[in-house]
Each structure stands twice: as structure tokens, then as C-alpha cells.
């Protein structure tokens, strides 16, 4: 198992979250691709979005349903500073994950994390597991807890 995938599996186990990492054999980089491969609704895909604080350069993790967009104004309020999209190289260097495989769990250094309240409305959600074709499913409340995320209304209307 690749290093980043193993980190996700270890983080899940440490948080008491029982998961099975599935390698899909096809890309799950977009929410639509992931939903097709997982056989679920796009709404059940968890997008793990990384933004960077414009004032201090810290990274923030936002978990949003695959069919929704992040409300960046609300996200900035929660972060306590203006945000910008983090550069892929910075994301890889600081989280150990490449774009397309960014997971809600398994970070080398903890990030401030926020999850959209909408995710809690599904019986099961699917998230990236550290590679462009690796996913796992979980109950959303258990995933949010494992991610150490604060639940808030962060999706755009």
C-alpha cells in the first residue's frame, strides 16, 4: 500500500474508525468520477479542500459534499483571516497528499478542519484515501470526528 494510503488507514484505526480502503482502478479525482466509481450520489462524496491563510500561510481543511461549493467568505470567517487556494506543491509538501487524493484524515501535522453540516444528512459518505484512485466509506459523523472537524454551514447556498 502506498505511503499516503497507509497513513490514512493508520489514522482511521487510531481514531477508532473502521474503514476499508478501495483502489478503484480508475481516477476518483473529481466528485463525479468518485461517485461513478463508488456507485453513490455525488452528494455523498466528501471533497477535502485545502485553503491557505493569506496572513500567516497556515493551511485549513474544509470538507464539503461533492455537489456543493465552499462559501469562501464563511470559510475565511472560521479561519479568522482571508483565504486563497493553496498551491498544489505546498499542499503536497505540508500534508503529504497530492491533489486528487487529499483525504479528510491522515495528516502529518494537524490542520484546522471544518465540515459542512450538510454532510451529516447522509447515512454513508465516501472520501479520498490518499491517492487518485483510493477511497473509503464511513458514517459522516464518525468521519467528522476522526478528522477533528468543527461542523459549520460552509457550503454556498
| Average pLDDT of the chain, as a whole number | 93
Looking up cell 461542523 gives 151
What are the boundaries of each domain within the chain?
A: 3-152
43 within 8 A of 116, measured Cβ to Cβ: no
pLDDT the model gives residue 24:
83
More confident residue, 126 or 36: 126
In this prediction the pTM is: 0.94
3-152: CATH architecture: Alpha-Beta Complex (3.90)
What backbone phi and psi angles, to 5 degrees, belong to 17? -100, 115
pLDDT the model gives residue 2:
63
pLDDT in tens, 24-70: 877 777 888 888 888 899 999 999 999 999 999 999 999 999 999 99
- What mean pLDDT is predicted for residues 92-119? 93
Report d(CA 26, CA 134) in Å as an integer. 9
Report d(CA 23, CA 58) in Å as an integer. 31
pLDDT the model gives residue 1:
44
Residues with Cβ within 8 Å of 42's Cβ and at least 6 positions away in sequence, in order, are 31, 32, 35, 65, 66, 67
Report d(CA 131, CA 5) in Å as an integer. 7
- What mean pLDDT is predicted for residues 140-149? 96
- Distances in Å between the alpha carbon of 117 and those of 29, 46, 93, 120? 23, 12, 29, 6
- Distances in Å between the alpha carbon of 100 and those of 30, 56, 79, 97, 138? 7, 25, 23, 8, 19
Report d(CA 53, CA 76) in Å as an integer. 8
Across 30-111, the runs of DSSP E, i.e. the strands, are 45-53, 59-65, 83-85
Amino acid at each position: 500500500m502506498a505511503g499516503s494510503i497507509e497513513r490514512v488507514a493508520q489514522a482511521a484505526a487510531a481514531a477508532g474508525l473502521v474503514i476499508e480502503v478501495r483502489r478503484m482502478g480508475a481516477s476518483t479525482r473529481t466528485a463525479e468520477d468518485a461517485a461513478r466509481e463508488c456507485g453513490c450520489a455525488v452528494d455523498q462524496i466528501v471533497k477535502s479542500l485545502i485553503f491557505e491563510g493569506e496572513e500567516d500561510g497556515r493551511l485549513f481543511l474544509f470538507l464539503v459534499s461533492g455537489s456543493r461549493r465552499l462559501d469562501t467568505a464563511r470559510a475565511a470567517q472560521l479561519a479568522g483571516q482571508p483565504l486563497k487556494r493553496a498551491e498544489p506543491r505546498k499542499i503536497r509538501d505540508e500534508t503529504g497528499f497530492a491533489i486528487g487524493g487529499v483525504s479528510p484524515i491522515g495528516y502529518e501535522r494537524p490542520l484546522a478542519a471544518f465540515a459542512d453540516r450538510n454532510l451529516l444528512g447522509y447515512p454513508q459518505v465516501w472520501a479520498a484515501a490518499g491517492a487518485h484512485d483510493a477511497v473509503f466509506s464511513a458514517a459522516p459523523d464518525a468521519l467528522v470526528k476522526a478528522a477533528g472537524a468543527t461542523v459549520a454551514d460552509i457550503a454556498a447556498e
